[in-house]
Amino acid sequence: MRRRVFTAVTTVTIFSVSTPAIAEIPTFDEVKNHWISTEGVLLDRHGAPIHEMRVIEKGRRLAWTRLGDISPAALATIVRAEDKRFYKHDGVDWLALSDAALDTLLFLQPRGASTISMQVASHLDASLRPARQKRTVPQKWDQIAASRELEKTWSKSQILEAYLNLSTFRGELQGVGAASRALFDKDPSGLDEPESLLLAVLLRGPNARPEGVARRACQLAQNMGVGVACVQLQRLAQSALPAAPNIAPRVALAPHVARELLSAMHPRVQTTLDAGLQAYATELLQQQLFALGASHVTDAAALVIDNRSGEVLAYVGNTGAAASAIYVDGVRAPRQAGSTLKPFLYEMAIERKLITAASLIDDSPVNLATPSGLYVPQNYDHDFKGLVSARTALSSSLNVPAVRTLMLVGADAFVERLEMLGFDDVIHDGDFYGFSLALGSAEVSLWQLTNAYRTLANGGPWSPPRLESTLKTAATAVLDPASSWIVASMLADPLARSVTFGLENPLASRHWAAVKTGTSKDMRDNWCVGFTERYTVGVWVGNFDGSPMHDVSGVAGAAPVWIELVDYLHRRFASIQPSKPQSVIARRIDYDKEIEAPREEYFVAGTEIDVVAAKPSATVRAEIAYPGEGSIIALDPDMPDSVQRVRFVATPQLPGQRWQLDGEAIGLAVQPVLWPPKLGHHNLVLMDARGEETDRIRFEVRGAARTP
C-alpha cells in the first residue's frame, strides 16, 4: 500500500511540473461524422438495402456502432478487462499507472496502464501511438495530458463508444461491429459472455493464436468470477478465429449492379431496382435451372424494365453460388440472338411498305449462294408451311420467310437499324453476317435486347435503360409508331403463334403481352423477350462457357420464367393492348384459296387491301431447292452409312413431279425422298407431270474410305 501511495504522489508531482502542450481535441460528433465504413450499400427504389459490398480495401469497418446497440455483457466485460475504474477516474488511473511504473523500475514483468480514455486519445492523435510496441516517456506524458483533456469535453459514454469503434480487434477488423459480424456472424447487440470475453482479450492481442486467446479468456473469466467453462472458450476460439476473418454481406441480391455503381467515392447508392422483384426473379431462375439440370443448363439471367421511364426494376446477372461462373454478368454478356431480332426486321419491312402483316411469304426450301458456299435455312421443326402471312411467319418464328424479308430490306440497312436500337456489339457490315442475320447470327446482350423490345413497346422512341432514377437522357425516334404497333399485335397473337407452338404453351399469358423466343445455333442460348402495356421482360438461359444445351428451346428454357415474371408484375392490375395509332387502319381481309382464315388485319395507312391472293402456280417455275448446284455433301465418319440420308426438296411442290437421279427414277417429289448417299458425282433432275425436265443440278458426295 505504501508503495502505491509513494509512486502515485511521485507521478502526480512529475506530471504537475512537466505538463506538455497537446493537440486540440476534436469533438465527439466530429470523430463520429468522419468515420468511414469500408462497406458500400446498394439500396432499392424504396430505400431498402439490396446488396452490401466492400468498397475500401484498407481496413474493414462497418457503420458506426452506437453504445445502445452493444450488449450489456460485452460492455461490462470489456470495461472490466480494460479499465475497471473507468467510471471513477478523470482519464488516468494513477494507481494502475504507479504499479506499472514501479514494476518497470524493478525490472518485473512490464505491463501497460493505459486507460480507455488514454487509448482513445492515441486513436485520435497518431503522434501518441508507440513506434515499436512501446511508448517513450514523453509520449506517455502526452497521452496522459490528452486523455485528461478528452475527459473535460467528452462524456464517459462517448469515450467508451469511440473506443469500441476505433479499436482493432483482429487482423483488419476495426470496431466492435466489424468484429462481431466477422467472428460471430451477429450484431453487437447479441454478444453473449463467452464472445465478450474473447473480444476483450483480442483488444490486448489482436493477432494472437486461437489457443492463446482461449487461455487468456479463461484467465479473465476466472478473475472476473464469470461462470464460463474454459472448454467452451477453447471451442469458441477455434471456430470464431479463422486465419482471414471475413464479413459476409447480410444481403446480396444484385452483385453485378453493385460492382457497377458502388465505389469508395459512392459507397451508398439508391437504384431503380425493386428488392421484392429482384429476389423473386432470382428464385425463379434458380428453380428453372434445377428443373433443367438433366439438360446441361447451368446459367440464366433476367432483366425487367419499366416501359415509360426506362428504370430497371430487376437485374439478375446470374443465379449466384449456383452459377458456373459467379462473376460473369449474363445481362451484359454478348450471345447469339437467335430469332429474337425478327420483330425488328419485320417492323422495318412494314415501315418501308415492302410488306404488310397480311402479305404472303413463301415458306419453302431455298438455296442461297454466299461467298462461303450455299446457305440453306431450315425451320426449327425442320418442316415447311408453304405460303404463310407475315403475321404467321413472325409469330410462329418461321426462318425461311425471315430470310426472304431480309432480302427485301437489305442486310446493310438492317445492321444500321440494329445499331440505332443500341446493339453496339453488331459488326458494321451486313456482308459479314449475310442472310443468317435474319436468324440471329449477330451477338447481342440481354441488356440491349430487352431495351430494344421496350422501344418497340413504346412505339419507336429509344433511350438507354436506367439503374439510377436521377440519370435521365433524351429519347431518339428510331422505329415507326404504326409499324411498331402492328408488329406488337403480331407478337401478341396466340392463333398466329399456334402454327409452330400450339395454343397451349408457356407464352400464353392471361394478360395482353407481345413476346418472342429465340434459340441460337446448336442450342447454346435460349431467349424469351416480350412486353406488356407497362413492362418489358427479358430472360436468357444457357451456359456461360458456350457449351450447348440438350434439346432445350426458348419455349422450354427461358419462357417459363418469362411468363411467371409477367404474371407477378400484373398480379394486381391487368395489361391491356395499347391504343391503336391513327395511322393504323383495321381492315377485314380474305385470302384467295383459303390460304389462311379470314380475319381483321392491321395496315399502315395506304397499304390496306381486302383480298390477299397468291401468284398463280402456272407462273411459278419449279426448281430444286436442295441440294443446290455444285453442292458438296460430306459423309459423317462418326455415323454408320446405314443411317445417313440426303433429302431431295423441290419448290414449289406440284402434283405429278418426279425425281430422276443419274438417269434413274427414284420417286415422286411430293413425297419425302431420303436417298442413301454414295460417293462420287451425281446428276439430279426434277421432272413435271408431263415428264418434261424443269430443273437439273450436279452435286458431289465425299467421305473418307471406310475401314472394314
Question: For 191-231, how does the pLDDT look when each residue is reduced to its tens digit (9 = 90+)?
Answer: 999 999 999 999 988 989 999 999 999 999 998 888 888 99
The radius of gyration computed from the CA coordinates of the chain, to the nearest angstrom, equals 38
Q: What span, in angstroms and rounded, lies between the C-alpha atoms of 76 and 195?
A: 12
Helices (H) and strands (E) in the chain, counts: 23, 29
> In whole angstroms, what is the distance from residue 417 CA to residue 430 CA?
11
Continuous H helices in 315-374: 342-351
> Looking at the predicted structure, is the pLDDT value of residue 380 above 90?
no
pLDDT digit string, tens, across residues 407-435: 899 989 999 999 999 999 887 766 677 77
CATH superfamily, domain at 2-34+61-240? Biosynthetic peptidoglycan transglycosylase-like (1.10.3810.10)
pLDDT at 367: 59
What class, spelled out in words, does domain 289-611 have in CATH? alpha beta
Q: Which of 553, 584, 410, 397 is nearest to 482 (CA)?
A: 584
CA–CA dist 657, 668 (Å, integer): 6
Candidates 490, 470, 465, 475; CA nearest to 601 is 490
Q: Indicate the fold that domain 618-702 takes in CATH.
A: Immunoglobulin-like (2.60.40)
0.85 exceeded by pTM: no
Q: Render pLDDT for 332-352 as a digit per residue (tens, 0 to 9).
A: 999 999 999 999 999 999 999
The DSSP bridge partners found for residue 443 are 336
Q: Which of 39-48, 81-90, 101-110, 619-628 has the highest mean pLDDT?
A: 39-48
CB distance 604 to 584 below 8 Å: yes
The strand order across the sheet containing 584-591 reads 599-604, 584-591, 611-612
pLDDT at position 92 over 90: no
- The structural domains of the chain, with segments of one domain joined by +, span 2-34+61-240, 289-611, 618-702
Is 606:353 a contact under the CB 8 Å cutoff? yes
User: pLDDT tens digits, residue range 445-482?
Assistant: 999 999 999 999 999 999 999 999 887 788 999 999 99
